[in-house]
Amino acid sequence: MARRDRLRFVRYVSIALGVVLIATVGFVVLDRYSARPAADCRSDVTDVRGVIGSEKEAFFADQRVRDRLACAGLKVTVDSRGSREMVLALKGNGYGFAFPGSTPAAQKIMDELKVTDSFTPFSSPMAVATFKPIVEVLTRAGVIQRSGDRDVVDVAALVELARKSTAWDQLPGNTEYPQRKTVLLRTTDPQDSNSAIMFLSIVSHVANGGSVVTTPEQVGKLLPDLCRLIFDQGDKPETSQVLFNYYLVDGVGRIPLALVYEAQFVAEAPGQKPGLSDEMVLMFPKPTVYSRHTLIPISDAGRRVGQALREDQELAKLAAEHGFRPERPVDSPVSKRKPPVEVVESPSYEVLETMLASLTPTTENAQRCAK
């Protein structure tokens, strides 16, 4: 090899080695930089079990949520139960926290367990999942109305149809869904599930003349309406996730109208977005209530879970991806969601307990509902 060729070869090798060295240093620096967040994570991890409402299953199953909680030193496993089943499930099962879907359900658990503190990291307004043909039918019937720039489901009109036992095929001009069954908003079972208790909060407010129900006497006057709206549905699922799955899978033939959590419909988390078709529609009932998901700590580790969900911005953003509305502002598209048109408050859990006791399936109550 000529001297000039040897020098050229050495120069090329030197350049190549220099490029490799620069790339290696850059990779190491980038790797160290990208690993910095992990350096902030706790090395010790505590196992903690919780019992949650089914509407939060997808959130806790998200690997990003699990990793972020692990960074806070928490390995969280959860079991889902209907909100009213939680009190029994909590006894003697080693749970570190309970996470029902509303303030009244949380208050009942807190009273039972004699716990005084709680965390409310996010909420979800109750909404109505339906289909475009049903929207057309109910718009003609005056049940779906324009309110500002949005269509809403007028709960007072639904209550009136239930009082008359109006069937779908009796609605004017109904060629889209001429079914011989009563027009009702499908819910879960209020004896098991928080979302149905939210339904009682809504319809009791409407049937009580636009006021929150506060006394057993008022509950007694409302019982005929509550009975029709609950018992006339027939068999009801125990959890909101089962109801929502019926809506997604079985479609309009089985579930023309369903009361769901807004979060179930609008979730955008990878792998968790619902399988919605172009015919599926979400709108708010008028009025609606907010379901404020409230975590009750039972152990120190459970308290740490509540603190992480409330204070960690990454967890708040992930909650927003799963459709929830974080209580603290986050840089997320959730901030662009419009609020419901009209929001009312739930009765106290004592009043709701009175409603539920009155609606417990018994021969006596069936006779009272028939009157």
Provide the 8-state DSSP code for 215.
Answer: S
Range 39-123+292-336 classified under CATH 3.40.190.10: yes
Question: How far, in Å, CA of 21 to CA of 17, rounded?
Answer: 6
Note the pLDDT of residue 32. Answer: 33
- Residue spans per domain, the chain: 39-123+292-336, 125-290+340-370
Note the pLDDT of residue 371. Answer: 53
Report yes or no: 86 and 295 within 8 Å, Cβ to Cβ: no
The domains spanning 39-123+292-336 and 125-290+340-370 adopt the same CATH topology = yes
Please write the tens of the pLDDT for every residue from 40-76: 787 789 999 999 988 899 999 999 999 999 999 999 9
Please write the tens of the pLDDT for every residue from 139-151: 999 999 998 889 9
Provide the 8-state DSSP code for 64.
Answer: H
Q: What is the DSSP string of 239-272?
A: SHHHHHHHHHHHGGGT-SSEEEEHHHHH--STTT
Residues of the chain with pLDDT under 70: 1-39, 329-335, 361-371
Question: How far, in Å, CA of 212 to CA of 296, rounded?
Answer: 25
Its CATH architecture, for the domain 125-290+340-370, is 3-Layer(aba) Sandwich (3.40)
How far is Cα of residue 360 from the mean position of the Cα atoms in its chain?
A: 25
